[in-house]
Structure 1
Amino acid sequence: MNIFSKLAMDTGMNPYIHVAYRQIFAFLFLAPVAFFVERGKRPPMTMTVLFQVFLSSIFGLTMNQITYFVGLKNSTPTIACALSNLLPAITFVLAVIFKQEKARLKTLGGVAKLMGTLVGVAGAMLLSLYHGPVIPIGEPGIHLRVPDNAANGSNGPGHANIVGPLLVIISALTWAIWFIIQAKMGDAYPAPYSSSALMLSMSTIQCTIFGAIMVPHAREWALYPGIRAVASVYGGVVCSGIGVCMMSWCIQRKGPLFVSVFSPLLLVIVAALSWALLREKLYLGTLLGSVLIVIGLYSVLWGKSKEIEEVQQPLKELQQVTKEDIEMHKELQEVTKDDMEMH
């Protein structure tokens, strides 16, 4: 998505238009899925849930994607992807503020989460503010015509522009707010596909109106060259549609911690593809900042896993005690039975 979107916007596609098309294609894909998968399972809609869905559409889709793609246009896919890894740390801070998570600073897990958050923020600041020398890794052997054409119509990667990284950080903040809202809404309305489809319908209207205000000329909405259509359909169907379904499937079987552990792998993949396909140069600041973000992320995840172990340990001990009581009761019954036979 990062590569396709960057190529599309480098050909002159406005990010507001790209966001609007992404919502449209995502809604057209997910609406029938939600209708058939959750037919007869949807709980009744209330005004409270409807308001939560509206807030989710504002923060989780409209504001999140507008700030992200405008930030992507004014930076690079590697920077945008790296800063997106701040999401777990920002979510942890907001969860503590809204009492959905406990800091537990007197425990090893709580200290690890706090230190991981600070290290991740430091990495984001280093990546955003420090450029540094180019890492000499040579030129890629791949030569594609599309990136060359895109580069000719581009206003430059904007690597040194602080606006791009700042907007991506704001995007991560709005996405974290969406997580907080979703945690409350999921308990009252346990129909994720239907709520997502309703959320996409609202964001489609919001983004289309906002895009029409920002870009009123109809010719700017053309999905030509073809990379614009590819980026819009891919972002909507694959990322907002199939991607959400796949992550939900994995979370149900392995839990959110297992899924989020793979997030830093995205940074490595995007950096390699950006170097190979977009001929993006890798800078020392980008490398050092990315490493700190990954270290901070894994520190938060490790701290969270330690807390889960600490919570589950008393339960395991209770289960062990219960098992021992059952065995002792069986032995007592056996002794009583022997006494009766002896009598």
Structure 2
Amino acid sequence: MEGDKCCSSLFQRCKPYIAMICLQFGFAGMNIITKVSLNRGMSHYVLVVYRHAFATAAIAPFAIVLERKIRPRISFLMFMQMFVLGLLGPVIDQNLYYAGLKFTSPTYSCAISNILPAMTFVMAVIFRMEKLDMRKLRCQVKVIGTVITVAGAMLMTLYKGQVINILGSQYMHHPRNYVAENNTDSGEKDWIKGSILLIIATFSWSSFFILQAVTLRKYAAQLSLTAIVCFLGTLQSIAVTFVMESKPNVWNIGWDMNLLAAAYAVSVSPNI
């Protein structure tokens, strides 16, 4: 009996960590499916629109029903914060991330996005949302983790080494060879462009988290906030797509990988 209680208590404590590990697997699958969809010609602008339109439709009913009694009134300042959240997450972050993914690879994109916690921590310290006291072990670990993740991302971005062949494999390449089979000028330019886009996207993602934390202090209805941000992001993404894509057929979507990419992204991460 006591053993069952102990196992149950241990499982309850481990649930957040298990959820985060499962989420990372979900992100990896999302990158792979999205990469396939983009390689087949789907516009990443259109993908962002469909993704957040699906997310709005999926979350809004729950927000309306579950938070009808706790939903705060939206002031003009609050609406502007939500508008900027829609711009930072669905529009800037997603469009630049998908563009960077198109120029690089799922593995490389995941590696660059690993600087997200470090970038968010630095921004939180700058805006005094985190206290940096180097006398505490917790702060020391955060600083060391920040240095390691940034150094790893810089190594992936800047290092150009030899091709690694394992057991005669001809498909293991260094990061720059993720883009092109040969080290051509066009491949080099795509690699640099993709890296820059991914870094800017990660910075936008960090900014989203910071502003989201500020917004949630006054607007505590999480589901409603997510639904509103997805809806505003959808409208903004539609405007961006109309500017960037002139062909009407880019909006075509069927029961194929394009639909799977949009729907799968919603199940992993609805708003960003």
When normalised by structure 1's length, the TM-score is 0.62
Q: Distance in 2 between matches of 1:225 and 1:188?
A: 41
Q: Does the alignment pair 1:122 with 2:151?
A: yes
Out of 98, 101, 105, the position equivalent to 1:76 is 105
Aligned mates of 2:260, 2:135 — CA distance in 1? 50
CA displacement at 1:115 relative to structure 2 = 2.5
1:208 is matched with 238
Deviation at 1:65, TM superposition (A): 0.5
Any residues of structure 2 matched to 1:182-193 within 5 Å, and which? 182-193=212-223
| Residues 164-212 of structure 1: CA deviation (Å, up to 9, x unaligned) | 1221121111111111111111110100110111111110011011011
Alignment of 1:260-275 (within 5 A): none
Larger Rg, first or second structure (1 or 2): 1
Distance in 1 (alpha carbons) for counterparts of 2:253 and 2:193: 27
User: What's the counterpart of residue 133 of structure 2?
Assistant: 104
- 1:46-88: CA deviation from partner (whole Å, max 9, x where unpaired): 2222111111111122111011111110110011111111111
CA distance 1:157–1:200, shift in 2 (3 Å): farther
**Partner residue of 2:209?**
179
Q: TM-score, normalised by structure 2?
A: 0.77
Whether the 8 Å contact between 2:71 and 2:224 is mirrored in structure 1 is yes
Aligned to 2:71: 42
Over 3 Å counting, the alpha-carbon distance change for 1:2 and 1:138 in structure 2 is farther
Q: Which residue of 1 aligns with 2:173?
A: none
Q: The residue matched to 2:191 in structure 1 has which SS?
A: coil
Contact between 1:75 and 1:157, CA under 8 Å: does it hold in 2?
no
Q: Return closer, same or farther for 1:203/1:75 CA change in 2, 3 Å cut-off.
A: same
Count of residue pairs brought into register by the alignment: 227
Q: 1:37 to 1:158 in 2, by over 3 A?
A: farther
Map 1:1-343 → 2, pairs under 5 A = 1-132=30-161, 133-136=163-166, 161-224=191-254, 226-236=256-266, 238-241=267-270
Mark the CA change 1:197 to 1:137 in structure 2 (over 3 Å): closer, same or farther. farther
- Structure 1 residue ranges, 4+ long, deviating more than 6 angstroms after superposition: 156-160
Which one-letter code corresponds to 1:102 in the other structure?
A: K
Q: For the Cα contact (< 8 Å) 1:62–1:203, is it kept in 2?
A: yes
CA distance in 1, matches of 2:79, 2:136: 39
Note closer, same or farther for the CA distance 1:225–1:117 as it changes in structure 2 (3 Å cut).
same
- Using the alignment, how far apart are the partners of 1:120 and 1:216 within structure 2? 40
8 A contact 2:90–2:234 mirrored in 1: no
Following superposition, the deviation at residue 137 of structure 1 comes to 5.7
**Distance in structure 1 (CA, Å) of the matches to 2:188 and 2:79:** 39
How well do the aligned residues superpose, as a CA RMSD in angstroms? 2.3
Instruction: State the alpha-carbon separation in 2 of the partners of residues 89 and 23 from structure 1.
Output: 26
